[in-house]
Amino acid sequence: MPYSPLLVKPFRDELTEVGVKELLTPADVDQFMIKPGFNILVINSVCGCAAGMARPAIRILMEGDKKPDNIASVFAGQDLDATARFRNYIADIPPSSPSIAFFKDRELIYFLPKHRIESRDAQSIANDMIGVMEEYA
């Protein structure tokens, strides 16, 4: 059973306020995954490392000068079908939420799983993301 929409609304808003598009359905995910360019997909979550590290790192990234061509999120525990569809695109990677996937012209180039998020601060994570963007975007 999915989390209550009232519970996750502030967690969603934290990303949409800085321009992250929500992918609510499998069709939304499919449309996102065919976009060319440098794209980021965030698997959002209710856990503490999403609140304290992942979402703040995304906000830092989006407040900077260099931004991805497209950035979107699915919400694990809420957008069940959309999250499952996205995980099909990265089937070789075990489920991990929160996590952040980076694509260049539809090819996965970098993946930041939960275990590389939960033990670090938001600025360090943002620095990693900025480094990926500088290398590939």
Active site residues: 47, 49
Burial 87-111 (b: 16+ CB within 10 A, else e): bebbeeeeebbbbbbbbbeeeeebe
For residues 84 and 32, give the distance between their C-alpha atoms in angstroms, rounded to a whole number: 14
Looking only at the bridges linking them, the beta strands covering 70-75 and 38-44 are parallel
Closest CA to 20 of 28, 77, 95: 28
Backbone angles phi, psi at 71, to 5 degrees: -140, 135
Q: Is the dihedral of CA 13, 15, 19, 22 positive or negative?
A: negative
